[in-house]
Structure 1
Amino acid sequence: MAWFGRKQQETVVEEIPEEPRLPEPPALNASGLRSVADHTAYLLGLVEPLEPFGTPLLEAWDQVMCEDIDSMINVPPNSTAKVAGYAVRAADLLDDSGLLAEPLDVVDPTVERLPEGGAVVVAAGDVLPRGANAVLPATFATLEGNRAHLIEKVAEGEYVRAAGEHLSVGTRLLSEGEVLDDRAMGLLAGAGIDKVMVRPRPRVIVISSGEHLVDPGAVVEHGDATDANSYMIAAAARAAGATVFRVAVHSNDPDAIRTAITDQLIRADLVISTTGGRREDYEAVVGVMNDLGLVDTVDVAMSPGRTQTFGLIGEDDERVPMLMLPGNPVSAYVSFHAFARPLIRRLMGARTEHRAVRAITDTMLRSMKGTMHLLRGRVTLEGSIRHVQQVSMPHALGELSRSNSLIILDESVETVRAGQAVKVWLFDEED
């Protein structure tokens, strides 16, 4: 018999940390595709707007307001004369019987406060002295020496642009979420605002890679192609409101691509990858993305740009969104407008929806049911009516340069006859 009972050792279950993963993606349709709307919403849900900061007014152009702004001063700050004449007190123009009063004494315009029975000569736009509440037009009196003999009277406030007439202290000028354009900057400056709280411009890194891609201006050897996609996408990102940096990797070597990406993460809010049209260029980048973070690759029900790859790359607590664009120039540009532009706008804190308008198609348009088709179009105005023509050229970049919009044919559309209205996304907001 044992003198001491042995304590049974407790089984220690070591907890294995769960591998980080992206949130559950949207369900696919019966064809194994994700809808454009679902994919857009999924990507936007993985990105948060950048933190706001205070900046001088002139540096905040085209950025999103993160506060409500009220006027700090009256505009105009002082009451001024609308016409040339005499700054007066309206009560001094009539005597006790209601008749025109005795001549007014014209006093020095530098007087601190207008005395009773006094008048100051003013030109249109001059600031009224304190105490004056009306302007007597020059034709309403005759001047003899330093005395103004009255011909007509005016009421209080007549011919005066009152202080605060345009804006009074506390008037709401801009609200949170509005974009600060050039007219708004003039409004704020005129109201005495010199600093505002805005979200910064997203820093977008466009990384170009491909073994046979060469920069414009370089010698093009047999089998090479000039890199156009990264320049086009960098310009499009800048037009969307981003601060853009372009980096080129003339290789498909995974180590070179990995180094190029990781070196840029310290200054990136969004990384966009562009390649040439070769499948191996695309696959090289996707392989590196899988090594660097959490990746979602899916076929989207859209044409062009069916295959889409997105990732959150870098360290767990500082992951940076990265979007891999297709290699074909048209597919890359269409994918940018469908997904990259909304991501940039999300980082800015601005509205992410495209500016959609209706236009009359001049020709028949066809698409495949179940797939959203984004056709290149050129919108023109005839009076107040927008018309759109599909642009189709053998040269992809030439086709894009002729286009100013995308014609959107939803998944349910198969045919649009000439003369019918279609939805279009305008590339330029002013069109």
Structure 2
Amino acid sequence: MADDDRLRTVDEHLALVLDGIGTIDPIELTLLDAQGLLLAENVRSDFPLPSFDNSAMDGYAIRAIDTREASAQEPVSLRVVGDIAAGASSRSGMGPGLAMRIMTGAPIPAGADAVVPVEDTDRGMAKVAIRRPVHTGQFLRRAGEDLAAGSPALAAGAALGPQQLALLAAIGRDRVTVRPRPRVIILSTGSELIEVGQRPSFGEVIDSNSYMIAAAAKDAGADARRVGIVTDDHAKLLDALESQLLRADVLVTTGGVSMGAYDVVKEALSELGTVEFTQVAMQPGKPQGFGHLGNKIPIFCLPGNPVSSLVSFEAFVRPAIRKLLGKRSLQRATVKATALEGASSPFGVRQYRRGVLHRESAGGYSVSFVGGPGSHLLASLALSNCLVIVDEETTEVVSGTEVTVLPLLLSNR
């Protein structure tokens, strides 16, 4: 519990968490490994883009002045003196009254200043009839018109999506320095837990939390890994955590943080003096633990009930991961929706209810509740696509009123 008996608010606990989250040193990655990350360097182009004047169309390279009298009724005839394919390694040349067949992307020959699209000609081989005039520079891509040599291509902080990776490749960068994905290690605690694939005996529970939190961490942008189950044993828990310190940027445990007599996580980590266990004015997810291990590695100790665990992740761990990634938006965007039914909520507590968010045909959103407030109801959690947030001052949600909804959509975002 915190020093005083007052429950810490969600916002207060989140502020404490974010204040305890540092940074990760940038690393150099190949382009495809850098997808979805933020650039940690300013990138300039060493050469112009395009790097040479080239044709924007399949057609004929010509001098624009030679086509000034062309019309459909009286085409201009020019002698064709060669072909230029895309990828040509040397630059051709031509003079007045001549034309050269040219492919899209092929270099413009010396002496030419425009391209006539093939559809505006008779497609002649030795001579070509041009049916309309073109202007100087028409259907050309000038060297450097997209990006001049030495000019900025992308600034530090740019998010690297497909189009940014394409630009980096086009200017010859096969590796870039980025803010890396934080390595998030997840451990489930509890002697009652067994691995997926085993059939539970009486009193045993299959571990689902580590899969859920690992998936949520990946969705937030982390490199997430579960390392299995740790039984309710002080030494085994501390050994398991210590073994992961060199592999982790963030540690997450689930279970063992409530007021029970066998809550080993709370008891063991409290002895280290680096993790504070407190109670937050939220439902579910009241018991929370946060601190640091080893070389200031943040550790989150989340409740063991699955709904509590996911709500706690969304409220505290996801923003921490996003901060480590360098993202400007640390939390999911909320929307307003019309409640299709009523619900009650305790005063002074921020309640998170599972819901199904609907997009209305007339515009806007509506939301219906799924399951009750119980934090163990995993099946109803799986049916939900959002969390309905009931603020601390509201004790009753009335059907037809507007509520705040946190969509649980895949990011990526």
> Does TM-score exceed 0.5, indicating one fold?
yes
Residue of structure 2 equivalent to 1:50: 24
Pairing partner for 2:367 from 376, 383, 388 = 388
Letter in 1 for 2:41: E
Q: 1:195: how far off? A: 1.9
Residue of structure 1 equivalent to 2:317: 340
Is 1:311 matched with 2:291? yes
What CA deviation, in whole Å up to 9, does each residue of 1:71-122 have, x standing for no partner? Answer: 5554444444344432012244469xxxx99954422235734232132112
Pairing partner for 2:338 from 360, 363, 374 = 360
For 1:417 and 1:232, locate their aligned partners in 2 and report how far apart those are by CA, in whole Å.
32
RMSD of aligned residue pairs (Cα, Å): 3.1
Contact 1:71 1:169 in 2 (8 A): yes
Q: Helix, strand or coil: the match of 1:153?
A: coil
For 1:418 and 1:120, locate their aligned partners in 2 and report how far apart those are by CA, in whole Å.
74
What's the TM-score, normalizing by structure 2?
0.85
Q: 1:165: how far off? A: 4.7
For 2:283 and 2:388, locate their aligned partners in 1 and report how far apart those are by CA, in whole Å.
12
Q: 1:324: how far off? A: 0.5
What CA deviation, in whole Å up to 9, does each residue of 1:132-190 have, x standing for no partner? Answer: 22112446566888444665432102233444455555665544334323343234334
Pairing partner for 1:284 from 264, 268, 273 = 264
Residue of structure 2 equivalent to 1:81: 55
**Quick check: 221-230 or 166-175, which moved more?**
166-175
Letter in 1 for 2:183: R
Residue of structure 2 equivalent to 1:15: none
Residue of structure 2 equivalent to 1:399: 380
What CA deviation, in whole Å up to 9, does each residue of 1:10-53 have, x standing for no partner? Answer: xxxxxxxxxxxxxxx9997xx70111111101111011121112
Residue of structure 1 equivalent to 2:213: 233
- In 2 relative to 1, CA 414–92 (structure 1 residues): closer, same or farther, beyond 3 Å? same
Contact 1:26 1:38 in 2 (8 A): no
- In 2 relative to 1, CA 144–182 (structure 1 residues): closer, same or farther, beyond 3 Å? closer
Segments of structure 2 that go 5 or more residues without pairing to the other structure are 85-89
Q: 1:425: how far off? A: 1.6
Residue of structure 1 equivalent to 2:87: none
Q: 1:272: how far off? A: 0.4
For 2:190 and 2:130, locate their aligned partners in 1 and report how far apart those are by CA, in whole Å.
87
Question: Aligned runs of 1:100-115 on 2, under 5 Å?
Answer: 104-109=78-83, 112-115=91-94
Residue of structure 1 equivalent to 2:33: 59
Contact 2:195 2:229 in 1 (8 A): no
**Quick check: 393-402 or 66-75, which moved more?**
66-75
- In 2 relative to 1, CA 415–168 (structure 1 residues): closer, same or farther, beyond 3 Å? farther
Q: 1:248: how far off? A: 2.7
Question: Aligned runs of 1:17-56 on 2, under 5 Å?
Answer: 32-56=6-30
What CA deviation, in whole Å up to 9, does each residue of 1:391-429 have, x standing for no partner? Answer: 115761111111111111222223333233222222215
- In 2 relative to 1, CA 215–52 (structure 1 residues): closer, same or farther, beyond 3 Å? same
Letter in 1 for 2:280: V
Q: 1:281: how far off? A: 8.1
- In 2 relative to 1, CA 149–406 (structure 1 residues): closer, same or farther, beyond 3 Å? closer
- In 2 relative to 1, CA 48–276 (structure 1 residues): closer, same or farther, beyond 3 Å? closer
Contact 1:249 1:257 in 2 (8 A): no
What CA deviation, in whole Å up to 9, does each residue of 1:232-275 have, x standing for no partner? Answer: 11111121111122223442111111111111111111110113
- In 2 relative to 1, CA 347–224 (structure 1 residues): closer, same or farther, beyond 3 Å? same
Contact 1:276 1:328 in 2 (8 A): no
- In 2 relative to 1, CA 400–149 (structure 1 residues): closer, same or farther, beyond 3 Å? closer
Is 1:265 matched with 2:242? no
Contact 1:133 1:157 in 2 (8 A): yes
Pairing partner for 1:330 from 307, 310, 315 = 307
**Quick check: 358-367 or 132-141, which moved more?**
132-141
Q: Helix, strand or coil: the match of 1:211?
A: coil
What's the TM-score, normalizing by structure 1?
0.82
Residue of structure 1 equivalent to 2:175: 195
Q: 1:346: how far off? A: 1.6
Contact 1:234 1:245 in 2 (8 A): yes
For 1:352 and 1:143, locate their aligned partners in 2 and report how far apart those are by CA, in whole Å.
58
Contact 1:355 1:425 in 2 (8 A): yes
Contact 2:31 2:176 in 1 (8 A): yes
Residue of structure 1 equivalent to 2:401: 420
For 1:278 and 1:339, locate their aligned partners in 2 and report how far apart those are by CA, in whole Å.
17
Contact 2:341 2:398 in 1 (8 A): yes
Aligned residues: 398
- In 2 relative to 1, CA 124–392 (structure 1 residues): closer, same or farther, beyond 3 Å? same
- In 2 relative to 1, CA 420–131 (structure 1 residues): closer, same or farther, beyond 3 Å? farther
Letter in 2 for 1:294: T
- Report which of the two structures shows the higher radius of gyration computed on alpha carbons: 1
For 1:135 and 1:361, locate their aligned partners in 2 and report how far apart those are by CA, in whole Å.
62
- In 2 relative to 1, CA 310–119 (structure 1 residues): closer, same or farther, beyond 3 Å? same
- In 2 relative to 1, CA 400–175 (structure 1 residues): closer, same or farther, beyond 3 Å? farther
Q: 1:225: how far off? A: 1.2
Q: 1:282: how far off? A: 6.6
Q: Helix, strand or coil: the match of 1:258?
A: helix
Contact 1:209 1:281 in 2 (8 A): no
Residue of structure 2 equivalent to 1:254: 234
Segments of structure 1 that go 5 or more residues without pairing to the other structure are 1-24
- In 2 relative to 1, CA 101–183 (structure 1 residues): closer, same or farther, beyond 3 Å? closer
Pairing partner for 1:408 from 389, 395, 398 = 389
